[in-house]
């Protein structure tokens, strides 16, 4: 059996998340409050919801709850995972779990990432359901298509596009000719797309001030859909800001491990649902090995 822990990102956040965890790990909660300058418990449990949904706060909240969830899982089961992976922001929790950095360092990185992404200017994203990513790309390659990027490859027929608000609105109208299931997302930025390039450049400079430790557990990268190589973490975290989240391929890699057993740690079951869709959309490998 291959034990795999996966960690959700923005979009899985909700008021009340982490309720059962904050009281169990007061020392980590105090550390988070000291880094952030506000009560993370108050934010997660009581909001206000508008603040919790602001990416500057959402990312910090999701990282904290994800990290506490991982610590609690290890403490209660005594079982380390064989692989870890996170969706977008969740990749930082995966790297914490793998020992790339301690809890506080991870939160410092996430807080800076969130601030830079918020400063990148207004953006929008939309989920396209019911058609393949290949067809989405074909539509977006047309002469009349606006300059938007494929941001998330979430499942065989669930793709997210990202870009400036007016361009996403135009892309939605084009894509509705292919499928009626095109859903604008409640985000304020063009995440994992070209408008994040300035944020990526500044984040690269910020990351240069940190030394990331060797990974003790394999982490499957959003950017490559394969485990991080040694000394690759900083480069991939920068690329992640403008590159698509290759979730379908990442889970495909993990499904090829012997008897994969997934555990989603953090609020909700968004990733569990995506993993089920990905399983259905591919054959079970014969003689899979690690």
Domain ranges in the chain are 2-120+193-280, 124-184
How many angstroms separate the Cα of 284 from the Cα of each of 18, 66, 141, 158, 273? Answer: 35, 30, 33, 20, 18
Q: What is the per-residue pLDDT for 114?
A: 97
How many angstroms separate the Cα of 239 from the Cα of each of 130, 158, 199, 245? Answer: 28, 22, 11, 10
What whole-number distance in Å separates Cα of residue 3 and Cα of residue 16? 28
Q: What is the per-residue pLDDT for 140?
A: 96
Whose CA is closest to 67, among 15, 14, 43, 31?
A: 31
> Which class is 124-184 in CATH?
alpha beta
In the annotation, is 243 catalytic?
Answer: no
Partners of residue 6 on adjacent β-strands = 85, 264
Residue among 53, 69, 88, 250 flagged as catalytic: 88
Q: What is the per-residue pLDDT for 284?
A: 58
Q: What's this model's pTM, rounded to 2 decimal places? A: 0.95
Task: For the chain, report the end-to-end CA distance as a whole number of angstroms.
Answer: 10
Q: What is the pLDDT along the chain (290 residues), one digit of tens a residue?
A: 999 999 999 989 999 999 999 999 999 999 999 999 999 999 999 999 999 999 999 999 999 999 999 999 999 999 999 999 999 999 999 999 999 999 999 999 999 999 999 999 899 999 999 999 999 999 999 999 999 999 999 999 999 999 999 999 999 999 999 998 999 998 889 999 999 999 999 999 999 999 999 999 999 999 999 999 988 999 999 999 999 999 999 999 999 999 999 999 999 999 999 999 999 987 655 554 44
| Domain 124-184 in the same topology as domain 2-120+193-280 | no
In the annotation, is 5 catalytic?
Answer: no
Positive/negative CA dihedral, 66, 153, 271, 3: negative
The CATH number that domain 2-120+193-280 falls under is 3.40.366.10
Residues contacting residue 196 through CB under 8 Å, at least 6 positions apart = 117, 120, 189, 190, 241, 242
């Amino acid at each position: 059996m291959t034990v795999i822990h996966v960690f959700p990102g923005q979009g899985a956040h909700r008021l009340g998340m982490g309720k059962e965890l904050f009281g169990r790990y007061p020392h980590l909660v105090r550390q988070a409050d000291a880094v952030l300058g506000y009560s993370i418990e108050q934010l997660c449990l009581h909001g206000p919801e508008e603040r919790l949904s602001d990416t500057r706060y959402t990312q910090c909240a999701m990282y904290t709850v994800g990290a506490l969830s991982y610590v609690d899982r290890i403490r209660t089961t005594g079982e380390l995972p064989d692989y870890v992976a996170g969706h977008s922001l969740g990749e930082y929790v995966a790297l914490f779990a793998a020992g790339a950095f301690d809890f506080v360092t991870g939160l410092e990185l996430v807080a800076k990432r969130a601030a830079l992404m918020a400063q990148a200017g207004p953006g929008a994203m939309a989920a396209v359901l019911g058609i393949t990513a290949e067809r989405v790309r074909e539509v977006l390659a047309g002469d009349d298509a606006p300059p938007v990027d494929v941001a998330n490859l979430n499942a065989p027929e669930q793709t997210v596009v990202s870009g400036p608000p007016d361009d996403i609105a135009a892309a939605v109208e084009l894509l509705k000719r292919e499928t009626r299931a095109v859903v604008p997302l409640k985000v304020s930025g063009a995440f994992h797309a070209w408008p994040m390039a300035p944020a990526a450049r500044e984040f690269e400079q910020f990351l240069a001030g940190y030394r990331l430790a060797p990974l003790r557990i394999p982490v499957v990268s959003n950017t490559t859909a394969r485990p991080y190589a040694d000394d690759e973490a900083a480069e991939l975290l920068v690329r992640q800001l403008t590159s698509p989240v290759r979730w379908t391929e990442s889970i495909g890699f993990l499904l090829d491990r012997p008897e994969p057993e997934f555990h989603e740690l953090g609020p909700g079951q968004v990733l569990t649902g995506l993993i089920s869709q990905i399983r259905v959309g591919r054959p079970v490998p014969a003689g899979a090995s690690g």
